[in-house]
Amino acid sequence: DTGVSQDPRHKITKRGQNVTFRCDPISEHNRLYWYRQTLGQGPEFLTYFQNEAQLEKSRLLSDRFSAERPKGSFSTLEIQRTEQGDSAMYLCASSRGTGRPGELFFGEGSRLTVL
């Protein structure tokens, strides 16, 4: 396993700009999750993919957020018209579809700072 990899690790942007984060899951994992974590809080679920299908979205995922997972491999999370409240760590995780699907393996996250 090479682990879940996320890029970029850090992003500083001005309010109103668009940002995109990329996640490469563990190769044999067909489930992929996005979470958001703010300081002093646990990760909060944003959205989930099984292969290329986006099966669940949290109410936290406003219209400014969009996620894709073309071909069921890597995933991108785009935030349009960023706001200061979007500043957080965006975590990606992956898991197997069978066996132990609940065991999520997290990447190191992409930290977003909106000025």
Partner 1 sequence: QQQVKQSPQSLIVQKGGIPIINCAYENTAFDYFPWYQQFPGKGPALLIAIRPDVSEKKEGRFTISFNKSAKQFSLHIMDSQPGDSATYFCAASHEKEAGTALIFGKGTTLSVSS
Name the residues that contact partner 1, by CB under 8 A.
Answer: 4, 33, 40-45, 48, 50, 55-56, 91, 93, 100-109
Find the shortest distance in angstroms from Cβ 72 to partner 1: 15
Closer CB to partner 1, 93 or 114, in the complex: 93
**CA–CA dist 81, 73 (Å, integer):** 26
Which lies closer to partner 1 via its Cβ, residue 19 or residue 23? 23
| Residue 18 or 38 with smaller CB distance to partner 1 | 38
Cβ 4 vs Cβ 94: under 8 Å: yes
As a whole number of angstroms, the distance between CA 86 and CA 107 comes to: 19
Q: CB 101 → partner 1: shortest distance, Å?
A: 6
23 or 79, CB closer to partner 1? 23
- Nearest by Cα to 45 from 19, 53, 82, 37: 37
Cβ 96 to partner 1, closest distance in Å? 11
CB of 100 to partner 1, least distance (A): 8
Contact 65, 57 (CB under 8 A): no
